[in-house]
Amino acid sequence: MKPARVMLVDDTPTRSAILEQALLDQGLTVVCRLESAQSLIKNVEIHQPDIIIMDLESPDRDTLENMTVLNQHNPKPVIMFSEEGDSKIITQAIQAGVSAYIVDGLNPLRVKPILDVAIARFREYQALRKELKQTRDQLADRKIIDKAKGLLMKTKGLDEEQAYHAMRKMAMDQSKPLVEIAQNILSVMELLTL
């Protein structure tokens, strides 16, 4: 059995690189990786993939769907191959942001593992993005808090610990996040020094 030929269309190169590696690890062939669908039709004709994995949020899905109409041998949306009772994997794919197109001859038994890999990698990427954002937000918060603390120390003649406790108390009294209190302090001070 020849390895299935996979084509990836995703405008997020990091994500499609992760997915490509995962598919290669499974012994599959990644024939083409496109970042935009500019030359989608031409590439499908040249590379003749068995399956196309596409970012669900790509507007180019409609362009690809038209190929299905034009030629019976062109890849069709994977949703066509799911039985109505077995739409779980399709729902999972949609939630993870994956869409897939497969050619008629490809055994449905071989489709599921490929889709599973794509779903897992898309989810992983989503989680990574979320984590990165959290870390960035935390760092930004820290900067604001430190700045407010410094201002309090300078204007009120407090030491570092006193300044921090003053802000903590305000945050608890007003049941607001510390960073919001720090932001308020900075805004007020800015007003006063103008």
Partner 1 sequence: MNGAKIEKKALKLGYMPLSDCLPLLVAQEKGFFEQQGLKVELLQEVSWANIRDKVIVGHLDGAHMLAPMLLASSVGLGGIKKPLMTAFSLGLNGNALTVSNTMQAALVELNAQEFDQAITMKRLIEQRKSKKLPALVFATVYPYSCHNLQLRYWLASAGIDPDKDIDLVVLPPSQMVDHLKLQHIDGFLAGAPWNSVAILQGHGHCLLTALDIWGNAPEKVLGVTQEWAEKNQQTHHALIRALYQACAWLEDHAELALPLLEQHLSLNSPLIDQDCLIPAITGEYIFDHNQIQSKAPGMLVFNRFMANFPWLSHGQLICAQMKRWHWLPEDTDCDKLVAGCYRPDIYRQALTDVTMPVDDFHNEHLSMT
Where do contacts with partner 1 occur on this chain (CB under 8 A)? 41, 56-63, 65-66, 68-69, 76-77, 79-80, 82, 84, 87, 90-91, 94-95, 99
CA dihedral 81, 86, 88, 92 (to 10 degrees): -10
**Radius of gyration in angstroms for the set of CA atoms belonging to the chain, rounded to a whole number:** 26
C-alpha distances out from residue 191 to 77, 103, 118, 178, Å: 58, 65, 52, 20
Residue (10 or 20) nearer to partner 1, CB: 10
Read off the DSSP letter of residue 75.
-
Q: Which is nearer to partner 1, 90 or 118 (CB)?
A: 90
Q: Which is nearer to partner 1, 61 or 147 (CB)?
A: 61
Least distance CB 19 / partner 1 (angstroms)? 20
User: 46 vs 188, which CB is nearer to partner 1?
Assistant: 46
Shortest Cβ 21–partner 1 spacing (Å): 27
User: Cα–Cα distance between 133 and 177 in angstroms, integer?
Assistant: 18
